[in-house]
Structure 1
Amino acid sequence: MADCDSEEIAVIGNTDLTAAELENNKNNTMAEAGTTLLRRMEISVAEAEKRTGKNAVNMQETYTVYLIETRPIDAAAESQNPTPDSLWRRYSEFELLRNYLLVTYPFIVVPPLPEKRAEFVWHKLSADNMDPDFVERRRAGLENFLLRVASHPILSNDKIFHHFLAEEQGWKEAVFETGFQAKADSRLKALNATFRVKNPDKRFTELKHYSDELQSVTSQLLRVRARVADRLYGVYKVHGNYGRVFSEWSAIEKEMGDGLQSAGHHMDAYATSVDDILEEEEHYADQLKEYLFYAEALRAVCRKHELMQYELETAAQDLASKKQQREELATGTIRTFSLKGMTSKLFGQETPEQREAKLSVLEEQIAEGEELVKEKNAECEEYVKNAWVDIERFKEQKDRDLKEALISYAIMQISVCKKGIQVWTNAKECFSKM
């Protein structure tokens, strides 16, 4: 067990930031935001293209590439309207970029990529990742990912990100030269830290619960929306049946024929409008999915903190053990049962020279241990400070984005209901003229 001094050291990384520190960090971040890449460059993923080629094992495969276009804002403002720089990237290259950012900036809530395969789809929507509608939505999601990174005060200034946008050849080599893969924490190591850390930071524990709740609520909302979309599709298609019945009926009715045929046209138009409605809804669903995937990015920040806290506690515990050994050697008393104590009883005590040599080695190890604990503690404090600034930034972004998305969704639904009322009002007028 660690002594009192080491116990204090082990939990220093958990000390809460004061309100003044948080405000200062927030102000610094806001000041840095003026230097983001998005203020200097227009970025878009203009189109997607299906290609066929050979993969790493020399087998034929079909894949999709996305055209990234960039243009300096200064040139556009001066009405020069230059041809944008452009290059093609595969989805796997976007994944490599994000993995690099995750490892290089573990304290940042790194924006997620759009889904690789469709999830939470209603039954009429294709789950094929080569479906044109899905590819188009993924194109928009990849563009949103680039805009998120380009607007971040830290990520937007990363050189590898700039290479990704500007250099078609040699970009992957530049990523691997950073050695980010060697810095990546293994899942087993992170899991071990999660279960063995003794003094978890309350704020990061609450953040894990927050991310779990965000994921749970968002996924439930998406499931409900998929079920509602199925039912809505059925309701609209019933109006298509009405339209067909009215049209056929108008052929055998002389006096009511015109009215029935007009009503039938209104019903047909209403039935076919459901495709556009659900396509627009899918746009809002994709916005919710982004925050569904953001939940995992939040947990990644928590896991890294747990790992750093575990390393700090391990170093502090090892230091405490060394200090206890020094005390035992100095006083000649063994406080706890150990193999060393049994050996001393069986074979006699050590000579003064042996004891001095061991004390000298222990003093060196204690000095190294104290330096290591100090270093780990400083790393943990710095991580907490930087992470909390970005978490606050993320929460503000999330509240703003979801509020706008849900308000827009509600406005869309009101508009849809008004159109439905208008269709039946028009049909009623047709019936009244019979």
Structure 2
Amino acid sequence: MVERGTALLKKMEISVAEADKRTGKNTVNMQETYTVYLIETRPAESVSEGGTPVAPDTLWRRYSEFELLRTYLLVTYPYIIVPPLPEKRAEFVWHKLSADNLDPDFVERRRVGLENFLLRLASHPVLSNDSIFFLFLTEVLFLVFQKADSRLKSLSAMFRVKNPDKRFTALKHYSEDLSTVISQLLRIRARVADRLYGVYKVHGNYGRVFSEWSAIEKEMGDGLQSAGHHMDTYAASIDDILEEEEHYADQLKEYLFYTEAVRSVCRKHELIQYELEMAAQDLSYKKQQKEELETGTVRIFSLKGMTSKLFGQETQEQRESKVAALEQSIQEGEEALKEKNAESQEFVEKAWNDIERFKEQKEKDLREALISYAIMQISMCKKGIQVWSNAKECFNKM
């Protein structure tokens, strides 16, 4: 589900080859068990002149290092829908599947997810060219100096934009609706998988009963024994079926996490728009102050106006000094507003280009995932029909 047309993927093959459980001390000197993942990279033309494959470059990374990389990309490219990481702990699972983040099956699924994350980055027209991303793939020592987005943290979560961009507002609402739909779909799938697991395992009881029955029958015994064997095979097949199904569920989960990345871009646009409006409001206020000083009139009630009435007007020299200071401040405000306008226009242009790219990717990926899921369900039903057809043949031979 990853396009391999970018320059990086044309030059380099990237994979997360394996996972390994290790034990060591954390930052507070306490013993912990964690998982590391082996990243392998090799030139796309990986066969040497002698015909032997070139050995890949390898390095181990923890999940937390992948998180650092993604945080760096979120801060550096606020206008890009940065691909999400696979889940840190299992969610939306049927009850027979362990939610332990050290469980081998879960670790394997996360390994696949981390590889997909790297390939998503390497296939992105902008992110694939980032030097820190390249170092993450190739250098053992890797540090990300995280720049916290202080502007977002300093503003109240309740700030409101007066003139929001309708396109980003609609996109935010869409991402929220998509998140709800995919969450519901995953919950339904988990419930269906639970019931399906029970149905398949109960078929094992058919096998046990047919086997016991065959022991007391002479002429019918072989047919009953064979039918019981088919039922046992059918009951045991559910484990592999549901493991395969989890793979398709993980593809849906990726887009569940993508919806948060989309909302992140929308929030950053709201912040830029808010700062633009504040700069325009500040400039308007300064121009009004200048007009009041020059004309000697106050259009709105203020403490300053009341003070002037009580203690007399300012001298001409004082007014001229303040007007000069305001003119300088207005000039700076106009430059600041111009910069904010340019920043906003650049953000919108870059963000919308990436949003359009993401929409095409999303439609293609989800269509493929749903079709593959339907094909798997059809195959599973056909296997069930085949088992009962085989059982029927066994009964016919009795």
Report the AA paired with residue 191 of structure 1: A
Paired letter, 1:47: E
Identical amino acids, percent of aligned pairs: 78
Structure 2 letter corresponding to 1:348: G
User: Match for residue 192 of structure 2?
Assistant: 228
**Alpha-carbon offset, residue 357 of structure 1:** 0.3
Match of 1:113 among 60, 82, 85: 85
TM-superposed CA distance for 1:77, in Å, is 8.7
Indicate whether 1:242 and 2:206 are aligned. yes
Q: Is the Cα contact below 8 Å between 2:6 and 2:124 reproduced in 1? A: no
Contact kept, 8 Å, 2:89 with 2:101, in 1: the verdict is yes
Closer, same or farther: CA 417–188 of 1 in aligned 2, 3 Å: farther
Task: Tell me which residue corresponds to 2:73.
Answer: 101
Where in structure 2 are the equivalents of 1:193-342 lying within 5 Å?
195-342=159-306
| 1:265-304 C-alpha deviation (Å, 9 max, x unpaired) | 0000000000111000000000000000000000110011
1:411 equivalent to 2:375? Answer yes
Per-residue Cα deviation, 1:158-180 (whole angstroms, up to 9, x for no partner): 000011000012x11xx21xxx4
- For 1:202-246, what per-residue CA distance to the aligned partner results, in whole angstroms no more than 9, with x for missing partners? 000001011101110100000000000001001101110100100
Counterpart residue identity of residue 147, structure 2:
Q
Superposed displacement of residue 75, structure 1? 3.1
Q: 1:73 aligns with which of 29, 40, 44?
A: 44
- Are 1:55 and 2:26 an aligned pair? yes
Counterparts of 1:236 and 1:142 in 2: how far apart (Å)?
32
Q: Secondary structure at the match of 1:237?
A: helix
Matched-pair contact (CA < 8 Å) for 1:37–1:156: yes
Give the alignment partner of residue 95 of structure 2, picking from 123, 126, 148: 123
Would the aligned equivalents of 1:120 and 1:222 in 2 still touch at CA under 8 Å?
Answer: yes
Look up the SS of the partner of 1:198 in the other structure: coil
For 1:134, the aligned partner's letter is F
**Cα shift readout 1:313-372 (whole Å, capped 9, x = no counterpart):** 001000000000111111111000001100110011111101100000000000000000
1:146-191: CA deviation from partner (whole Å, max 9, x where unpaired): 000000011011000011000012x11xx21xxx424454445272
Q: Which amino acid aligns with 1:162?
A: F
Write the distance in 1 (CA, Å) between the matches of 2:140 and 2:152. 30
Question: Cα 1:204–1:393, aligned 2, differ >3 Å: closer, same or farther?
Answer: same
Higher helix share: 1
Residues 45 and 142 in structure 1, CA contact (< 8 A), matched pair in contact too: yes
Conserved? CA contact 1:118–1:128, under 8 Å: yes
Q: Quick one: distance in 2 between partners of 1:111 and 1:77?
A: 34
Q: 1:319 to 1:144 in 2, by over 3 A?
A: same
Alpha-carbon contact 1:45-1:139 (below 8 Å) kept: yes
CA deviations on 1:357-406 (whole Å, 9 max, x unpaired) are 00000000000000000000000000000000000100100000010011
Match of 2:9 in 1: 38
**How high is the TM-score relative to the length of structure 2?**
0.97
CA contact (8 A) 2:207 2:227 kept: yes
Distance, in Å, in 2 between the alignment partners of 1:184 and 1:88 is 32
| Number of the residue aligned with 1:189 | 155
Seen in structure 2, the aligned counterparts of structure 1 residues 156 and 234 have a Cα distance that, compared at 3 Å, is same
Q: Is the 8 A contact 2:6 2:122 kept in 1?
A: no
How far apart are the structure 1 equivalents of 2:387 and 2:368? 29
Equivalents in 2 of 1:69, 1:304: separation in Å?
34
Please state whether the residue corresponding to 1:354 is helix, strand or coil: helix
Q: Does the 8 Å contact 1:190/1:303 carry over to 2?
A: no
Which sections of structure 1, spanning at least 5 residues, go unmatched? Answer: 1-29
Higher relative contact order (CA 8 A, sep 6+): 1
| Native 8 Å contact 1:42 1:73 kept in 2 | yes
Residue 392 of structure 1: aligned partner: 356
SS at match of 1:45: strand
Distance, in Å, in 1 between the alignment partners of 2:192 and 2:295 is: 76
**Equivalent residue letter for 1:433:** K
SS in 1 for 2:301: coil
CA contact (8 A) 1:190 1:307 kept: no
Deviation at 1:36, TM superposition (A): 3.1
Cα gap change, 1:182 to 1:293, in 2 (>3 Å)? closer
Q: CA deviation at 1:43?
A: 0.2
Q: Report the count of equivalent residues.
A: 395
**What is the CA-CA distance between 1:39 and the residue it aligns to?**
1.6
Whether the aligned pair in 2 keeps the contact of 1:259 and 1:433 (CA below 8 Å) is: yes
Amino acid at match of 2:113: G
| Contact in 2 for aligned 1:51/1:64 (Cα 8 Å) | yes
One-letter identity of the residue aligned with 1:90: R
CA contact (8 A) 1:36 1:152 kept: no
**Counterpart Cα distance in 2 of 1:329 and 1:84:** 73
For residue 144 of structure 1, what is the amino acid of its counterpart? N
Distance in 1, Cα, partners of 2:32 & 2:5 = 43
Q: Structure 2: which amino acid aligns with 1:37?
A: L
CA contact (8 A) 1:238 1:271 kept: yes
What amino acid is the match of 1:257? G
Which secondary structure does the structure 1 equivalent of 2:157 belong to? helix
Q: Deviations over 1:89-109 (max 9, x none)?
A: 000000000000000000000
Give, in whole Å, the separation in 2 of the partners of 1:97 and 1:37.
17
AA partner of residue 230 (structure 1) = D
Q: Which amino acid aligns with 2:80?
A: I
Residue aligning to 2:310? 346
